[in-house]
Structure 1
Amino acid sequence: MSTEKLNRHNWPIAAAMIQYSNILPDGSSVQDQAPEDWAATLADVTDAGFTELDPTDSWIRLADLSQSRLDTFLGLVREAGLTIPAISTARRSIIDPERGAEYLEYNHRVIETAAAIGAKEVSFGLFYALTEAQKKALWFWTAQGITSPDDPETWKKAVDGIRELGRHAQDVGIGISLEMYEDTYLGTADSAVRFVTDVDLPSVGINADLGNLVRLHRPVEHWRTMMQKVAPFARYWHVKNYFRTEDATTGLVVTAPAPLEFGVISYREAIRTAIAHGFQSAFLCEHYGGDGLSVSATNREYLRRILPK
């Protein structure tokens, strides 16, 4: 993690690009867009007041660009006045039964790309592609996704693969943050801590994305106790929040996306807990639904108010 003393004025807070698809309405890919079209999307980010960007690979896969195209993209990022503190990946699990080996190799390229462009962190996850039921749902987390197998051999395969990536990251001077996500080996605070403890590398920590868990329409551990458990391992952090209502008489649970300061998680408390354990990594503002970029910008300003002076 950075040795620079961070405060509310200089803490890197990046815009996520989850509201932008890799596949455009005409069926073409962002990978093949003209530079002026990349620039138009980056202008959205700067118009929202961001100075940092995470080129989330659900939008663009920097690791799959040719060197010349990557150089062009980075030039546009600089022209827009943006920096890239980290790169996040999504739904590229190294234990995917069909594409795990491919994703492991891809994640190595992400590490190399992050180091080459000056990013300090990468975020990996063990969650899978959306099921057809999830794709049809208004909120994909209300439909059951693919579950990581309760199998010691697969757990070991995941640990060994992340350790391999962690050593690579360590060699090139960056960190890995593993995203908490339901029904994976990082699907609870206890399991996430056990997993990174098994990996046992200083370059590998936890992306404490508690929003991925509190949004579930099922019983979950209270966010406060989860945060207390994962805080000592927290690295690059995806932050988002949800309204959550529980009816104890019927067992009904209902959730919906919320601006960061209004949801069930108190980020004022959660961030103080993480900082007390030495957290000094960047934040990534995410929001599903509506104008996610603008809500993320509102969330950025909330973070600026509550971070240390």
Structure 2
Amino acid sequence: MIQYANILPDGTSVQDQPAEAWAATMSEIADAGFTEIDPTDCWLRVADLTQARRDEFKQALREVGLTVPAISTSRRSIIDPERGDEYLTYCHRVIDAAADLGARTACFGLFGPLTDEQKKVLWFWTVDGVRNPDDPAVYARAVAGMRELGRHAAEVGIDIALEMYEDTYLGTADSAVKFVKDIDHPAVGLNPDLGNLVRLHRPVEHWASMVEKTMPYVRYWHVKNYLRIVDESKGIYLSAPAPLETGVISYRAAVTKAIALGFRGAFGCEHYGGDGLSVSAANRAYLKRILPKHVGPV
């Protein structure tokens, strides 16, 4: 749903739309061939709907033939220096909303809001954003908060996937694995969003190495790909969004590895730029082609 803004052209909020308008938007997803949706909160904050409004949302889902396997959050970090406590409370509401909608996973991250400089450029990832501080006390607070969310998730029967994102405590394969191990809760794993890292205009670890390290911990997976041009002798690092099958990451290899290690969760198809929904639909078709046949239909 990253193709869909939460503020409409007339200045009103998707949050306040009638259920019929939600259904009209979601019918575009169904018309593209999807049977599942992640109503990420950059489009609609289902956790902030009243129960009556959430019931309307569930009815809209049924009308268009969609189910919800996961709910992702965006830029609502529990260690945000100004709103961290507020976002921790919000994440608890996301867990309850996910369970109410029949989802298996809630996805959280530690990345902050876009800076003014990031908002000015075509691709926000080409400008450095908010960094998690190199502060043991803040790190410990992040671990404790995610463990708290993990306990809540386990109580309602769902998992938590933590999204890898640059310059956060999940900003590299090694740091992401360490963070999950430090949390040390069986309900908490990773969303190994490798695209968030290979798109950076700086040196990054090879995608295959990241796959080897992170796939044992995957619970939910945002998948997107990028072209990447590197000339280290000249200090050149460039990227642009690409369909899954044509970018630098071999998702055939990565998915095969994840499945072999027992991953049976959902894929969240993402794409920035152009007709992102159509590219995401093509990415879904590609995943269905490469998924090992023994795991059954997707």
- Same-fold status (TM-score > 0.5): yes
What amino acid is the match of 1:50? F
**Which secondary structure state, in structure 2, belongs to the residue aligned with residue 53 of structure 1?**
coil
Select the residue among 42, 51, 55 that pairs with 1:67.
51
Instruction: Give the match for residue 222 of structure 2.
Output: 238
Q: Distance in 2 between matches of 1:277 and 1:153?
A: 34
Question: d(CA) in 2 for partners of 1:66 and 1:209?
Answer: 31
Choose the corresponding residue for 2:257, options 268, 273, 281: 273
Per-residue displacement from partner, 1:248-290 (whole Å, max 9, x unpaired)? 2201011000000000000000011111211111100000001
What SS does the corresponding residue of 2:59 show, helix, strand or coil? helix
Q: TM-score, normalised by structure 1?
A: 0.94
Alignment match, 1:5: none
- Greater relative contact order (CA < 8 Å, ≥ 6 in sequence): 1
In terms of mean alpha carbon deviation, does 81-90 or 35-44 score higher? 35-44
Equivalence for 1:24: 8
Give the superposition deviation at 1:221.
Answer: 0.2
Q: Secondary structure at the match of 1:255?
A: strand
- Counterpart residue type for residue 263 of structure 2: F
Write out aligned runs for 1:219-234 (5 A): 219-234=203-218
SS of 1:244's equivalent in the other structure is strand
Task: Measure the CA separation in 1 of the matches of 2:104 and 2:21.
Answer: 27
- Give CA deviations for 1:136-157 in whole Å, capped at 9, x if unaligned: 1100000110000011111100
Aligned residue for 2:190, secondary structure, equals strand
* Cα distance in structure 1, aligned partners of 2:226 and 2:176: 21
Deviations 1:205-224 (A, max 9, x none): 01010000000000000000
Q: For residue 155 of structure 1, what is the aligned residue in structure 2?
A: 139
Could you say what secondary structure the match of 1:69 adopts?
helix
* 1:258 is the counterpart of 2:242: yes
Pairs within 5 Å for 1:104-253: 104-253=88-237
Q: Say whether 1:35 aligns with 2:15.
A: no
Q: Which residue of 1 aligns with 2:83?
A: 99
Q: Within 2, Cα distance between the matches of 1:56 and 1:123?
A: 9
Equivalent in the alignment of 2:296: none
Amino acid at match of 1:27: G
Question: What amino acid is aligned across from residue 21 of structure 2 in structure 1?
Answer: D
Which residue identity is paired with 1:200? D
Aligned residue for 2:234, secondary structure, equals: coil
CA distance in 2, matches of 1:35, 1:238: 27
* Helix, strand or coil at the partner of 2:237: strand
Aligned residues: 293
Corresponding residue for residue 297 of structure 1: 281
Q: 1:144 is matched by which residue type in structure 2? A: D
Which consecutive unaligned segments of at least 5 residues does structure 1 have? 1-16
2: CA distance between counterparts of 1:273 and 1:156? Answer: 31
Q: Distance in 2 between matches of 1:271 and 1:236?
A: 12
1:90 paired to 2:74: yes
Identity among equivalent positions (%) equals 68
Match of 1:286 in 2: 270
Matched position secondary structure for 2:229? strand
Q: Distance in 1 between matches of 2:73 and 2:98?
A: 12
